[in-house]
Chain A
Amino acid sequence: MALKNDTEVRYGTPAEFHGVKFQVPHATLEKSSYKRADEGEKQEPKSPPMSPICSPPASPSTYQRIAQSYGYGKARSGLEQQHGAPYEVRHSTHQQDGPSSGNYGAKSALTCSTPNRSLSVEREQQDSSSQYSDDPWRITEEQRDYYINQFRSLQPDLNAFISGSVAKNFFTKSKLPIPELSHIWELSDVDCDGALTLPEFCAAFHLVVARKNGYQLPETLPETLLPEYLQAACLKPVRDCALFDSYSEPLPSSQQTRDFSRAEKSSAEEVPDNSALLQDGKKDDKQAVKVSTTLKTIPKEFQHLTVKAAAQEPNAHRARPRSRSYSSTSIEDAMKKGEEPPTPPPRPQKSHSRASSLDLNKIFQQNTQAVRSGWLPPPPPALPPRPSVSQTEQPSEVELHPQMNRPPSQAEENSSAKKEVVLAQPPSKPARRKLRTEAQGLETPELSPTINVTSSLPAVKPHLPVQKQSSKQKRAIQTAIRKNKEANAVLARLNSELQQQLKEVHKERIALETQLEQLRPVTVL
């Protein structure tokens, strides 16, 4: 109990999520949870998981920064302990699956998982949650949506391949060492064709995420990451991806402003929520329970969800609305942090810009919270109203920029264009500041929907920067103004230089033409 209270205290203050303190309880928790989890968690033979599972706590300090996902993965592993009988059932199925895991035996995996689903409703519910939470190699819905969006950013056609070089560049951004990336590729490219299909890409991405979170890479591909397994699962959320497209595309740009740990924490909340909803009997790993109960800032409304009989439907259902806010943030920041190598120090900017983006949306937070509380019924319709809401609110908020008083419809029209512009902006520092300034409404209010959307995430921790928003907002706007002026000056100078060159070229051309004319009459005659 003491441990439970301890971790409760530790998890209770979200501000600590960013601090190193979080990693310490995580490390201790992981050890205890892993020792229990390794029995049935991994699909592989039992002996290898012993060492991999125990190693993450000793992972290098580079992983400490992103140890938020420790909570995510660990909570998922820890929640496994909460299942009583179903856990044992899964334990046996896992053991069954162990020998077959090395053979890419998807069929055996699927048949082993189907007996779970054929159990009673309660069993199925528990199994669905356990399927989500006990296995770090299982891809959750929001993760899958995120992966699919990333796939789409690389390759618009979901049925086509991502070539090796494209995938290499993409995964290199994750800053994992090349041998590990090579191994991840080996594991995930099942047909060894040098290209990744969507399920292969999801598996590879998931392995990258797991590795960044400190999990040792398995020797063979876990069955939950097999392409056949993922193919069946991938088809389901694809239809929701259309909804997420408009949502998540602008998010990558504004994700630069996100704090990674906060995103991880939010994703960590979701999975405990799943099991917390379904499980009453908590077992040994109380810390994971505490993760679920105390980390909960957003998804209180999800506790009211009734778990349906279908194994993954409830989780998919719950995850879908939540993935609106989380899909971009769950593990995206891991990649985003890596995707900013060309920029000079991104992190200070991130904090600054996050505050600025939050500043603008302080007003929206209550709104979005209210929206999210009533989020459950129609997730899709919730999306359009929010931009309009932000549109109406933003002009009133930003008196500094009267040019923002445009009709919301036009703003919404431009929002899609702006989102593309946002995407197309190279990840350079002035460009990002421009984005921020745009976001702040210097140029357009259209980006406010993007920030509004991401503000759902700050709503996770509303108490973080609320107090300093007004001053930070003004400061941010002023710096944005300054930056824009500088950019304008530079561009004007460039323009004048180019005009000079143009004049000179014109003179030369005129001279040449006169020469030509002088010569021509001679020959004509």
Chain B
Amino acid sequence: MAVCIAVIAKENYPLYIRSVPTENELKFHYTVHTSLDVVDEKISAMGKALVDQRELYLGLLYPTEDYKVYGYVTNSKVKFVMVVDSSNTALRDNEIRSMFRKLHNSYTDIMCNPFYNPGDRIHSRAFDTMVNSMMMQVC
């Protein structure tokens, strides 16, 4: 279960960011922002020739003592960043991958909507529902 999920556009501005409503949500926003550097690093490390072979799932971007940050980038350079609570050790890599896959599918569904202009903030209710299902349930 994620603590924060963000969709970052190609130009590195957020299209969608949703975090568990705890105090200090800004911390998550900052974390996501700083993780973009790591994402760019991983993307550029592949080199241009390897773009096709580059895997979409980037894996663990960097861990902190409280949480881990995972990244996923699409072929159109739209990035998904997920912040996961470190205490939740039950989450395996496969689960993270499946969560990103769901995110990617929902994102493509949004793209199919002709009323959505790429680059706009995402206001889709279906997307919200899907993200909420992945977020940690705060009692």
Contacts and interface: CB of A to CB of B under 8 A. Distances in A.
Contacts of B123: 179, 182
Interface string A218-242: 0100000000000000000000000
A192 B109 contact: yes
A453 interface: no
A417 interface: no
A182 B109 contact: no
Q: Which of A165, A181, A192, A193 has the most CB of B within 10 A?
A: A192
A194 B123 CA distance: 17
Interface bin, chain B: 10 to 19
A183 interface: yes
Contacts of B113: 164, 182, 185-186, 189, 194
A167 B114 contact: yes
A168 B124 CA distance: 16
Contacts of A183: 124-125
Contact of B126 (A164, A178, A186, A193): A186
Contacts of B116: 182
Contacts of A179: 123
B90 interface: no
B115 A189 contact: no
A270 B62 CA distance: 65
Contact of B112 (A171, A178, A194, A219): A194
A189 B112 contact: yes
Contacts of B126: 186
B114 A186 contact: no
Interface string B28-46: 0000000000000000000
A488 B138 CA distance: 74
B133 to A, nearest CB: 12
Contacts of A194: 111-114
A181 B114 CA distance: 9
Contacts of B125: 183, 186, 219
Contacts of B124: 182-183, 186
A182 B112 contact: no
B115 A178 contact: yes
A164 B114 contact: yes
A183 B123 CA distance: 9
A254 B95 CA distance: 59
A192 B115 contact: no
Q: Which of B108, B115, B126 has the most CB of A within 10 A?
A: B115
A179 B124 CA distance: 8
A193 B123 CA distance: 19
B114 A185 contact: yes
A427 B126 CA distance: 37
A167 B114 CA distance: 8
Contacts of B109: 186, 192
Contacts of A168: 114-115
A45 to B, nearest CB: 14
A204 B83 CA distance: 36
B114 A192 contact: no
B114 A193 contact: no
A336 B74 CA distance: 41
A194 B118 CA distance: 14
A183 B124 CA distance: 7
Nearest to B110: A186
Q: Which of A168, A171, A186 has the most CB of B within 10 A?
A: A186
Interface of A: 164-165, 167-168, 171, 178-179, 181-183, 185-186, 189, 192-194, 219
13 contacts: A164-B113, A164-B114, A167-B114, A168-B115, A182-B115, A182-B123, A183-B124, A183-B125, A185-B113, A186-B113, A189-B112, A189-B113, A192-B109
Given A164-B114, A182-B113, 5 more contacts: A171-B115, A179-B123, A181-B115, A182-B115, A192-B112
Pairs A-B, 7 closest by C-beta atoms? A164-B114, A194-B112, A168-B114, A182-B115, A192-B109, A185-B113, A181-B115
